[in-house]
Amino acid sequence: SAVISQKPSRDICQRGTSLTIQCQVDSQVTMMFWYRQQPGQSLTLIATANQGSEATYESGFVIDKFPISRPNLTFSTLTVSNMSPEDSSIYLCSVEARRGYTFGSGTRLTVV
Amino acid sequence: AQTVTQSQPEMSVQEAETVTLSCTYDTSENNYYLFWYKQPPSRQMILVIRQEAYKQQNATENRFSVNFQKAAKSFSLKISDSQLGDTAMYFCAFMKQIQGAQKLVFGQGTRLTINP
């Protein structure tokens, strides 16, 4: 099963700034998924990132706020732009594995 | 639209007891996948069990088993001989693949506490 390294594990950021989260997979995968988990809530899909094409965003999420890069089949980044306290969440990346989906360890973001 | 509902926000049982977590979903599709994920305080999402909708046999993974009722759109998780390490949030999830696009939809979660 794929192993994902996600960085940073946590960060505290000032409002108005941006944070880029990285996910590195130990094998080549076609699609990578980015999720947001707000405090005490479930996971919500932000976007699906395919290598070589623009990411597909879910309703309520826009590219200007959450730009995604997918330069190759093992790596992706999610940027949270112009942050506000409402962006304080856990952000997780995910890929499809043999039995299901494997997730990164998550990035806990606090915006102050 | 696909929705997943977990009606038990919290559950608590004694160690070694059996506990069942409920999940219902709504879909008009015939082929899909269902999952249970565990999220301990470390926040790592861990796959517990998977069920393919075309399989009538309920999936089993050691102490974890499901009761999959396709007609009722129900997918409950049974944990036998519960252990302290089972304490976590449990999420039921539904996945459908169509024309190469996939989406994993999660329920609201059930916080399970195993007491010594």
pLDDT, one tens digit per residue, over A55-92 is: 999 999 999 999 999 999 999 999 999 999 999 999 99
- What secondary structure, in 3-state letters, does B92-113 show? EEEEEEECCEEEEEECCCEEEE
State whether residue B25 sits within 8 Å of chain A by CB: no
For B34, the closest chain A residue by CA position comes to A100
Q: How far apart are CA A105 and CA B65, in angstroms?
A: 25
Count other C-beta atoms under 10 Å from residue B113's C-beta.
14
pLDDT, one tens digit per residue, over B95-104 is: 877 566 778 9
pLDDT, one tens digit per residue, over A10-25 is: 999 999 999 999 999 9
How far is C-alpha B7 from the chain's CA centre? 12
Query: Strand pairing partners for B102?
Result: B97
Cβ distance of A92 and B45 shorter than 8 Å: yes
DSSP structure string for B46-73: EEEEEEETT--SPPEETTEEEEEETTTT
Is the predicted pLDDT of residue B49 greater than 80, yes or no?
A: yes
